[in-house]
Structure 1
Amino acid sequence: MATRENHPPGKTLDPRCPHATRFQHRNPRGHPERHARSGRMVATRCHFPYAAADRQDHKGFTRGNRRADKEGQKMKANDIAIEAAKAAVEKKATRLTALDLRGLSDMCDVQFICSGENERQTKAIADSITGHIKQKSGINPLAVEGMQTGSWVLIDYGSVIIHVFMNEYRDYYALESLWPTAKAISLPGA
């Protein structure tokens, strides 16, 4: 196996990874799939977290960062939670709670939690929340999980995570009990 000391000329090791022993083959045209089909070796990257954290996506933001684009975000975390509450109340959501997790969790700044009676209602609440926030601010969620089943829908806005539960799932998971010292954010209709 090649090492830093005896690598062939014209080939370089991935400079971001101090323990890399694979060669990074330059591809000037940026078509690794063509080279893979022709049997040539293509660039390899280190898959360790610190190497991936400094890479940037097509918008120039670091992929390792869980937060949404702070400069482009038109609404603050509390405002997103308040708008989510307004949309949830329109669809008859119950047990609305927003927790301010700043300083308590690195996962997000605010968690908004609400409940619905059945799967159809939780899906409708989640659709209403994403549509309302998109209309008000133009922000799309980073991810939406659980829409197929509807028992627990999670909507990720980076600095705000929204949970829409069926009542029995909310009672079972009891997310509010994970942060008993978190401050509650006052919401309309709560």
Structure 2
Amino acid sequence: MADETMTDEQILEGVEHKSFVATSDRTAASLSASGVAAEDVARAAAQAAYDKKGEDVQVLDLTELSDVCDYFVLATGTNNRQVDSIVDEIEEKVAAACGEHPFSIEGREQKTWMLMDYGSVVVHVFTPEARDFYRLEKLWGDAPQLPLDLL
């Protein structure tokens, strides 16, 4: 029987695929599993938080600073009920605009700091007291803010 060993090129020939390679030199944000740019997910989440009367909505660009995610979206709700409402709005609007759903949502019980994990984007919604206590903007002080045109 002839040698049936195939080269990598032969195996991949005709196969449509996307590959993402992690490097220490990250200069661009990644795409989600469905091919949506992380920045688009972050902007949709920020707009949804703003639409639900979230305060001090910011997007921190972590593409050069973190291997964990590309963007943090930060927003403040005036109380626990509003924090929960903002998270629900973000989940609905990001799904509608980008087809993305969070892998997990943490903090539903206390509703003082809720975290939504979209993979390349992590959304943090706080009560004023929790945001002041954790001060993620200060912790990630080197991260540039993404300019937002919230309408």
Shorter-chain TM-score range: 0.7 to 0.9
2:45 paired residue number: 84
Deviation for aligned residue 1:108: 0.6
Instruction: Map residues 175-190 of structure 1 onto 2, 5 A cutoff.
Output: 175-189=136-150
Q: Determine if the alignment matches structure 1 residue 93 to structure 2 residue 58.
A: no
Structure 2's unaligned 5+ residue stretches are: 1-29
- In 2: Cα distance, 1:132 partner to 1:170 partner: 23
1:137 aligned to which of 98, 103, 107: 98
* 4+ residue segments displaced more than 6 Å: none
1:103 paired residue number: 64
SS in 1 for 2:141: coil
Aligned residues between the structures:
122
* TM-score normalised by length of structure 2: 0.76
2:81 paired residue number: 120
Instruction: Map residues 14-163 of structure 1 onto 2, 5 A cutoff.
Output: 70=31, 72-163=33-124
Q: 1:72 to 1:148 in 2, by over 3 A?
A: same
Structure 1's unaligned 5+ residue stretches are: 1-68
Q: 1:129 to 1:71 in 2, by over 3 A?
A: closer
- Structure with the greater alpha carbon radius of gyration: 1
Deviation for aligned residue 1:70: 4.2
1:168 alignment partner AA: E
Deviation for aligned residue 1:189: 2.8
Q: 1:72 to 1:90 in 2, by over 3 A?
A: same
Where relative contact order (Cα < 8 A, 6+ residues apart) is larger, the structure is 2
Identical pairs, percent = 39
Deviation for aligned residue 1:171: 0.4
- In 1: Cα distance, 2:55 partner to 2:86 partner: 10
- In 1: Cα distance, 2:86 partner to 2:75 partner: 9
SS in 2 for 1:117: coil
Q: 1:174 to 1:83 in 2, by over 3 A?
A: same
Q: 1:172 to 1:80 in 2, by over 3 A?
A: same
- In 1: Cα distance, 2:141 partner to 2:54 partner: 23
2:15 paired residue number: none
- In 2: Cα distance, 1:74 partner to 1:149 partner: 33
| 1:82/1:188 contact within 8 Å kept | no
